[in-house]
Amino acid sequence: MSSPAMRVASAPVSFGVDEIMVDDAWMPEPDEMLDWMVDIGFEGTELGTPGFLGNAAEVHERLSTRGLAFVGSFLPQHFSRAEKVDQDRAWLRDQLRLVREAAPAGSVPYAILSDQFDEPDRRAFSGRIAEHPETWLSPARFATLIDNLHRAAELCRTEGLEPVVHPHAGTYLETADEIARTVEALDPSLIGLCLDTGHFRFGGADPTAAARDYRELIRHVHIKDCRISVMDDVKRDGMGLDEALRRGVFCPLGEGDAGIRGVIDQLRANGYAGWLVIEQDQSLRSSDTPGSVVAGQRRNRDFLRRLGI
């Protein structure tokens, strides 16, 4: 069964361009990366690391000339930290204007709001947060997180962009319980949910069940796979997010435990008609080449083709 309503995009993180893993042996140039995306058959891309694709005019030109849609921008902030609100909100305003001005005609990019991933204890214990209550948010800070998330969503709407919240490893919105508590507190008239299959699985949630249970809130989807065997090894060694990423916890589609096929079936049942953004968070090693990177992302795209997308 085909699903013409679902469109497939990529993201710079799949080509080694990432805010977390910054010690790559090399990185592609912006134009060659976008050319690779077109050649593979992606219809759009997310923005990726701020500045990588240039200023608003440069992003607009680069995407427009290639017929690539601008799908969304990842916007992390310290939602539970009241003392950082003013700084974060000023940064968000600047980024939202860039996104709006950079979007090619016909593109309607999402503002993808994430909690920030620079809290040392959350990164250190990422993947085993449930076993470390000292890292959990207090009720007061959780209330601050929800309030700031809503205020940020209002700002996104003021700038004409649709906001979604993205649960993410290494943040205060990682575990299945944290996701459920946050979803319950969200105002769906202000903000929707980005289902990232890899990050949901990383935090202990079942992505297929999430696609079913949160179907009314899901407005954007990141398709990512996650190896539980890597997580188990990292937990055994007492390590956190950085080591999990180095060991390849987010792997090629179909080689992990996120249950991508089940998620796609559930999204079809939901009548989901949005973007599927293939992501494979990776840093590039000296053994990686442009050819091998492109081949890997072509295999990821072909994985969805085999599912009729």
> May I ask the CATH class of domain 7-306?
alpha beta
Provide the token pair at 114.
């994430």
pLDDT digits (tens, 9 = 90+) for 67-97: 999 999 999 999 999 999 999 999 999 999 9
Q: What is the pLDDT of residue 45?
A: 98
Could you read off the pLDDT of 127-139 as tens digits, one per residue?
A: 999 999 999 999 9
Residues 6 or more apart whose Cβ sits within 8 Å of residue 273: 5, 6
What pLDDT is stored for residue 18 in this prediction?
80
181 Cα distance to chain centroid: 20
Phi, psi of 144 (to 5 degrees): -65, -45
Of the listed ranges 18-22, 255-259, 293-297, the one predicted with least confidence:
18-22
Q: How far apart are CA 243 and CA 225, in angstroms?
A: 17
pLDDT for the residue 118:
93
Instruction: Return the HEC string of 34-94.
Output: HHHHHHHCCCEEECCCCCCCCCHHHHHHHHHHHCCEEEEEEEEECCCCHHHHHHHHHHHHH
From 205, 208, 207, select the one nearest 173 (Cα to Cα): 205
Q: Are 28 and 53 in contact (CB under 8 A)?
A: no
Confidence of residue 55 (pLDDT cuts 50, 70, 90): very high
Examine the pLDDT at 64 and tell me if it is beyond 90.
Answer: yes
Arithmetic mean of pLDDT, 144-163: 98
Is residue 60's pLDDT more than 60? yes
Q: Is the pLDDT of residue 20 over 90?
A: no
Is residue 196 within a helix (H) or strand (E), and if so which, with residue range?
strand 192-196
**What's the pLDDT at 25?**
79
Look over the chain and give the mean of its residue pLDDT values, rounded to a whole number.
95
Mean predicted confidence (pLDDT) in 153-161: 97
Q: Structure pTM?
A: 0.95
The fraction of the chain above a pLDDT of 90, given in percent, is: 91
Contact 281, 253 (CB under 8 A): no
